[in-house]
Protein backbone atom coordinates (compact mmCIF):
# COMPACT_ATOMS: atom_id res chain seq x y z
CA UNK A 1 0.00 0.00 0.00
CA UNK A 2 1.17 3.55 -0.62
CA UNK A 3 1.36 5.88 2.33
CA UNK A 4 1.83 9.19 0.59
CA UNK A 5 -0.43 10.81 -1.95
CA UNK A 6 0.94 13.62 -4.06
CA UNK A 7 -1.21 16.39 -5.42
CA UNK A 8 -1.57 17.32 -8.20
CA UNK A 9 -0.94 14.18 -10.25
CA UNK A 10 0.32 16.35 -13.09
CA UNK A 11 1.46 19.95 -13.31
CA UNK A 12 2.50 21.98 -16.35
CA UNK A 13 4.01 25.45 -15.93
CA UNK A 14 6.13 27.93 -17.86
CA UNK A 15 9.87 28.08 -17.35
CA UNK A 16 10.73 30.58 -14.65
CA UNK A 17 7.52 30.05 -12.69
CA UNK A 18 7.39 28.36 -9.29
CA UNK A 19 6.05 24.83 -8.94
CA UNK A 20 4.35 23.58 -5.79
CA UNK A 21 3.56 19.95 -5.08
CA UNK A 22 1.81 18.57 -2.04
CA UNK A 23 2.02 15.26 -0.24
CA UNK A 24 -0.34 13.81 2.34
CA UNK A 25 0.37 10.74 4.43
CA UNK A 26 -1.58 8.59 6.83
CA UNK A 27 0.48 7.39 9.76
CA UNK A 28 3.05 8.97 12.06
CA UNK A 29 6.48 9.39 10.52
CA UNK A 30 10.13 9.70 11.49
CA UNK A 31 10.98 11.76 8.46
CA UNK A 32 9.71 12.61 5.00
CA UNK A 33 11.82 12.66 1.87
CA UNK A 34 11.34 13.97 -1.64
CA UNK A 35 12.78 12.27 -4.70
CA UNK A 36 12.91 13.12 -8.40
CA UNK A 37 12.70 10.61 -11.23
CA UNK A 38 13.48 11.36 -14.84
CA UNK A 39 11.75 9.19 -17.40
CA UNK A 40 13.17 5.67 -17.49
CA UNK A 41 15.70 6.34 -14.75
CA UNK A 42 16.07 5.66 -11.06
CA UNK A 43 15.05 8.04 -8.31
CA UNK A 44 17.32 10.77 -7.02
CA UNK A 45 17.08 11.99 -3.45
CA UNK A 46 16.35 15.71 -3.18
CA UNK A 47 15.74 16.59 0.45
CA UNK A 48 14.87 15.05 3.82
CA UNK A 49 12.86 16.77 6.54
CA UNK A 50 12.59 15.27 10.01
CA UNK A 51 9.35 15.06 11.93
CA UNK A 52 10.48 17.78 14.35
CA UNK A 53 11.31 20.23 11.54
CA UNK A 54 8.81 22.53 9.88
CA UNK A 55 10.75 23.92 6.91
CA UNK A 56 13.91 23.14 5.04
CA UNK A 57 15.70 24.70 2.08
CA UNK A 58 18.14 23.34 -0.46
CA UNK A 59 19.05 25.57 -3.37
CA UNK A 60 15.85 26.27 -5.30
CA UNK A 61 13.92 23.75 -3.22
CA UNK A 62 11.82 24.53 -0.19
CA UNK A 63 10.05 21.80 1.77
CA UNK A 64 7.52 22.30 4.53
CA UNK A 65 6.09 19.72 6.90
CA UNK A 66 2.91 19.96 8.93
CA UNK A 67 2.65 16.88 11.12
CA UNK A 68 -0.71 17.98 12.54
CA UNK A 69 -2.19 17.84 9.03
CA UNK A 70 0.04 14.96 7.94
CA UNK A 71 1.12 16.89 4.90
CA UNK A 72 4.20 18.26 3.20
CA UNK A 73 4.84 20.56 0.27
CA UNK A 74 7.73 20.88 -2.16
CA UNK A 75 8.31 24.24 -3.81
CA UNK A 76 10.66 24.58 -6.75
CA UNK A 77 11.42 28.20 -7.47
CA UNK A 78 12.45 29.68 -10.81
CA UNK A 79 11.75 26.42 -12.63
CA UNK A 80 13.92 25.25 -15.52
CA UNK A 81 13.25 22.85 -18.37
CA UNK A 82 15.60 20.38 -16.67
CA UNK A 83 13.20 20.22 -13.71
CA UNK A 84 10.77 18.25 -15.89
CA UNK A 85 10.41 14.94 -14.03
CA UNK A 86 8.20 13.02 -11.64
CA UNK A 87 8.45 13.97 -7.99
CA UNK A 88 7.69 11.56 -5.16
CA UNK A 89 7.38 11.94 -1.43
CA UNK A 90 8.42 9.04 0.76
CA UNK A 91 8.04 8.36 4.43
CA UNK A 92 9.43 6.13 7.13
CA UNK A 93 7.21 5.17 10.00
CA UNK A 94 8.07 4.51 13.61
CA UNK A 95 7.12 0.87 13.25
CA UNK A 96 9.22 -2.11 12.31
CA UNK A 97 9.07 -1.57 8.56
CA UNK A 98 12.36 -0.29 7.25
CA UNK A 99 11.59 0.44 3.64
CA UNK A 100 10.49 3.85 2.46
CA UNK A 101 6.85 4.10 1.40
CA UNK A 102 6.35 6.22 -1.72
CA UNK A 103 3.37 8.09 -3.08
CA UNK A 104 2.21 7.94 -6.69
CA UNK A 105 4.08 11.09 -7.63
CA UNK A 106 3.49 14.40 -9.36
CA UNK A 107 4.53 14.60 -13.00
CA UNK A 108 5.94 18.08 -13.56
CA UNK A 109 6.36 19.52 -17.05
CA UNK A 110 8.23 22.77 -17.53
CA UNK A 111 7.31 24.47 -20.80
CA UNK A 112 10.25 26.37 -22.33
Partner 1 sequence: DTGVSQDPRHKITKRGQNVTFRCDPISEHNRLYWYRQTLGQGPEFLTYFQNEAQLEKSRLLSDRFSAERPKGSFSTLEIQRTEQGDSAMYLCASSDRTKGSPLHFGNGTRLTVT
How far apart CA 44 and CA 87 sit, in angstroms, is: 9
Q: Write the binding mask 83 to 112 for partner 1: x where contact by CB under 8 A, - elsewhere.
A: -----x-x-x---xxxxxxxxxx-------
Residues with Cβ within 8 Å of 78's Cβ and at least 6 positions away in sequence, in order, are: 16, 18, 60
Whether 73 contacts 58, CB under 8 Å = no
- For partner 1, what does the binding mask look like between residues 5 and 44, x meaning CB under 8 A? -------------------------xx-x-x----xxxxx
Binding residues (CB under 8 A) for partner 1: these are: 2, 4, 30-31, 33, 35, 40-45, 48, 88, 90, 92, 96-105
Amino acid sequence: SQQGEEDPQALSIQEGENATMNCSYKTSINNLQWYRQNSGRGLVHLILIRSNEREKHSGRLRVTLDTSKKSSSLLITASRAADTASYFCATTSGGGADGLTFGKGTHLIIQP
